[in-house]
Amino acid sequence: MTVEPGTVHPGSAGPGYPEPPGGAAARTRKTAPLVNLLRRIDWADGVPARYRLQVRAGLLDETLKLATYSAITHLIIAVAVTTFFWSSASRVYLVSLLAVVTVVIAATLYTTRLYERTYGGAVSRVGVARGYTVSGGLAFALGIAWATMPVVLFAPASSDERLLVVAIAAGLISDAYVVGPLLSVSYLFVVPVIIGSFFGLALCGEPVALSIALLLCVYATFVGLSVRRMSRLSRQRILDRVRVEDQSETIGLLLNEFEENASDWLWETDQDGNFQHVSTRMADALGCPVERLQRSSFRDLLPVGAEPRADADRTIALLDQFRLGLPFHEHLVAIGTATGTRWLQLSGRPFVDRRGGFAGFRGVGSDVTRSRQAEARIAYLATRDALTGLSNRVVFHEVALEACAAATARGAPVSLLYLDLDGFKSVNDSTGHAAGDALLRQVAERLLATVRADAQVFRLGGDEFAILHRGTDPGEAQGLAEAVIAILHEPYHIDGVRAEIGVSVGIAQAPRDATDPQDLLRKADLALYSAKEAGKGRWQSFDPDLEHRIQRWRELDGAMRAGLKDGEMALHYQPLVSLQDGEVVGFEALLRWTRPGHGPVSPAEMIPIAESTGFVITVGRWALRQACAEALSWPRRMRVAVNISSIHFRLPDFFREVETVLAEVGLAPERLEIEITESIFLAKTPHVMDNLRALRAIGVRIALDDFGTGYSSLSYLTQFPVDKIKIDRAFVRELSSRPECLSVIKAIMVIAQDLGIDVTAEGVETEQQAELLRLRRCNSAQGFLYSPACPADEIDGLITRIPEAVGQGQVSVRRVA
């Protein structure tokens, strides 16, 4: 006869349990009507036929586990009811109720113990049927007994006693949760209690009692639905567990298939560590016959012998975990075989027998000898720069750590030379990355040929290199830096192309400047930054003042953001004066910042910081709006000039920002002059040209500031639309003493007049300078001759006083300012 998987033949009492005399079939027929009724309730949602017996057994087992606690609770309630109503109700009824409840409880406890003793954990169709029948019958009997309680006690009771009856009835209804896994048993108990409670309250005849009865029915409905859902969840959980158990055989087959075809292999030991299962693949990996391994133990496989200390430590650690019964995962061990050392990767977990006792280990292993050898090769390559063959950043930190420790402990100084190539990017971009790589290889060769045995060269990445030089004389490190600068500056020949680069070097020494690699590298980087700032192609030793500058930089970076928000910044205005009639034609807005408790901060210090962080855009937006708003009160003929950073001007929608500010403030576009420097034209992005054209199209004037210095090119005047150029103060300052300065200004004026461009001279401090510029037909001037930059509230006075002073020929810093 074929039996469904996961079930037990109906005629058996379960594995290991003899069938009681009389036969199971006859008993099953006797209880069939009640059992079928219970099944129809419990399996409304359906359970696959092959799993039904196991699921029923699981539900019955969960219910019976709570039967003892539920029974004791019912007995306590019966005693309480008898005590509370002894003086007001029929004592015959109370004693009868207590007796019936006691008998049912006793029967419940007895049958529960009997079921556990007879069937234990076995799955038996007869046992499950009996369990359902008995538990359902006892639940129904207990429900009938309690159903009489509200019928008998409610009507004659006092108000307090009625409240007690209702509370007990509600509590009894909630007992459905205890037997919830078996929905049918739960209904057999709770339905009589619900009916008895309703009729007990309804028959009283009082409207309040009828209302309470209806509410009790609503509560019972909620409990019934909740119990049904709990029963469904319990049934699903048990069904999932049964399915997992049923699939274990399939999993075993898959594991066998895995062992035969995969590169890994399975192993198993008993509680004493002796191998119970050894695969042929494991034997092949160890070069040992399967029969020999079957007669050995796990400890024999991992002898601790003459292997290296690290390998022995790993083996001892694994044996300790095995001895303590602890799981291990991907543990790497070295095993000596006839063919040499083999590396095995082992994972294992302890397993238990049916009684819960330790039964041994099961696990998986693999031969990772080839990957281990590859890892060793990779580890070696990981310490080298693939392009140049020099030691890489990882090795640098290890060597620098040892050198710094020796410098601190034994007073053996070590100098770090931090190198950054000058001009490498342009060579790399113009000749291609292949040529750039060849150039870096030649740089590495020259560095290796330059250093002596007391120094080591590293490539830290990109075009950055480092040299660790051990020596007591700092002059030796400086001499090495000069030699490196000289040798790297010599021309390179790459595929017939000549290339020239330079190098800047920052030097820091341990333990004088730092005691750990990170700090040493940071301070060498500061020195390198100083060398580049000084003009590149040179070396610079670390100076504590460099760190103070960086700290000052960071301090101002944070303070200026708060300063703008807190109103510490303001705009001062320097007048632009017509050289022909002495009238004030406009003002240039200049940023001023006064820190409370610190005093004024120079724009020359503040602006570079703001540009490096991008905060200059925020400042520029504020200054543009502030200048336009304050210029609104000036005479309509006067313009306001606002300096805009090239970073800000290159934004795609900068011209829209200007349009928005002018519209919101109400200033006419022709009264605004945007001052930019020639550096903006180095990056000829489409946004720069779009912004220039759009601003001029709406009437905003463009002025080219600091003309004649920096990146000056006369081609800018023809390629880019500007309305004004401002001659840098460097030419005006020496106008009287150096004829060539006057010649330059003459040339600028001729070009500007031919192109229809206005000219303003900056830094005018003497009347002689003003007269020379006027004779050269310069349009306007600004400088201390007329006034320094002043707050906005002094502008009205300047507009009046400057023309008067010019007309009287008495213009001076003291008189006007």
Percent of the chain with pLDDT over 90: 30
Q: In sequence order, which residues have a C-beta less than 8 Å from that of residue 688 and are 6 or more positions away?
A: 649, 650, 680, 681
20 secondary structure, DSSP code = P
- Whether the model pTM is above 0.85: no
pLDDT bucket at 731, cuts 50 / 70 / 90:
confident
96-100, 215-219, 301-305, 624-628: which range is least confident on average? 301-305
DSSP classification of residue 33: H
**What's the pLDDT at 811?**
59
Reported residue count of the chain is 817
**Nearest CA to 543 among 553, 531, 532, 561?**
531
Residue 501 has pLDDT above 70, yes or no: yes
State the residue for tokens 């113009």: 430
pLDDT at position 577 over 60: yes
Residue 786 has pLDDT above 90, yes or no: yes
User: Of all helices (H) and strands (E), which one includes residue 52?
Assistant: helix 52-65
37 — pLDDT class (breaks 50, 70, 90)? low
Range scoring the smallest mean pLDDT among 3-12, 260-269, 283-292? 3-12
Cα–Cα distance, 228 to 250 (Å, whole number): 33
> Residue holding tokens 């001659």?
727
Residues 128, 54 contacting (CB under 8 angstroms): no
Q: Is the model's pLDDT at 260 over the cut of 80? A: no
- No. of helices (H) and no. of strands (E), the chain: 31, 21
Q: List alpha helices for 247-344, DSSP H.
A: 248-261, 280-286, 290-294, 298-301, 309-324
Instruction: Output the pLDDT for position 263.
Output: 59
pLDDT reading at 176 higher than 80: no
For the stretch 26-30, contacts whose Cβ atoms lie closer than 8 Å and that sit 24 or more positions apart, written own/partner, are: 27/126, 27/129, 27/130, 28/125, 28/126, 28/129
- Residue 16 CA to residue 122 CA, distance in Å, equals 8
Tell me the pLDDT band of 179, cut-offs 50, 70 and 90: low
**Distant-in-sequence, close-in-space partners of 444: CB < 8 Å, separation ≥ 6:** 388, 389, 390, 457, 459, 465
Nearest CA among 315, 283, 312 for reference residue 296: 283
Q: Span 132-149, mean pLDDT?
A: 80
pLDDT of 356: 75
Of residues 486 and 344, more confidence is placed in 486
CB 729, CB 762: distance < 8 Å: yes
H or E segment to which residue 599 belongs: strand 599-601
Q: Phi/psi of residue 794, each to 5°? A: -100, 0
Q: Confidence class of residue 745 from pLDDT cuts 50, 70 and 90?
A: confident
Q: What is the mean pLDDT of residues 242-263?
A: 59
What is the arithmetic mean of pLDDT over 488-514?
92
The average pLDDT across 647-651 equals 91
- Given pLDDT bands bounded at 50, 70 and 90, which one contains residue 180? low
Q: How would residue 809 be classed by pLDDT, with cut points 50, 70 and 90?
A: low
More confident residue, 554 or 490: 490
Q: H or E element: which one contains 759?
A: strand 758-761
- What percentage of residues in the chain have a pLDDT greater than 70? 86
What is the spatial distance between Cα 133 and Cα 406, in angstroms, rounded to a whole number?
86
Q: Single out the residue of 174, 168, 177, 178 nearest to residue 146, CA to CA.
A: 168
Assign 207 to helix, strand or coil: helix
* Greater model confidence, 387 or 815: 387
Element (H, E) at 352: strand 340-352
Confidence of residue 659 (pLDDT cuts 50, 70, 90): very high
Tokens of residue 292, six digits: 């020999």
Inform me whether the pLDDT recorded for 493 exceeds 80.
yes
CA dihedral 662, 664, 665, 667 (to 10 degrees): 30
Q: pLDDT (tens digit, 9 = 90+) per residue, 161-174?
A: 888 888 888 878 77
- 640, two tokens: 């306001």
Lowest-pLDDT choice from 454-468, 676-690, 696-710: 676-690
Q: pLDDT at position 783, please? A: 93
User: What's the confidence (pLDDT) of residue 482?
Assistant: 95
- Bigger pLDDT: 110 or 769? 769
CB 271 within 8 A of CB 297: no
Whether residue 591 has pLDDT greater than 90: yes
- The pLDDT, as a whole number, for residue 817 is 39
Site of tokens 């070069």: 287
Mean pLDDT value across residues 431-437: 89
| pLDDT higher than threshold 70 for residue 309 | no
Structure-token match 């009684």, residue found? 355
* Helix/strand/coil for 580: coil
Largest CA distance in the chain: 140
Three-state helix/strand/coil letters over 164-179: HHHHHHHHHHHHHHCC
* Residue 335 near residue 342 (C-beta atoms within 8 A): yes
**In angstroms, rounded to a whole number, what is the distance separating the alpha carbons of residues 363 and 365?**
7
Burial (CB count within 10 angstroms: exposed 0-12, middle 13-18, buried 19+), residue 770: buried
Averaging pLDDT over each range in 381-385, 445-449, 688-692, which range is the top one? Answer: 445-449
Ranges of beta strands (E only) in 668-746 are 672-677, 701-707, 724-727
Compare 45 and 789 and report the one with higher pLDDT.
789
Mean pLDDT (the chain) is 81
Say yes or no to pLDDT of 463 above 80: yes
Does position 40 have pLDDT exceeding 80, yes or no?
Answer: no
Mean pLDDT for the stretch of residues 767-786: 91
Q: How far apart are CA 758 and CA 744, in angstroms?
A: 16
Asked if residue 31 has pLDDT above 50, the reply is: no
- Contact (Cβ atoms closer than 8 angstroms) between residue 617 and residue 645: yes
DSSP 493: E
Nearest to 317 by CA among 326, 366, 341: 326
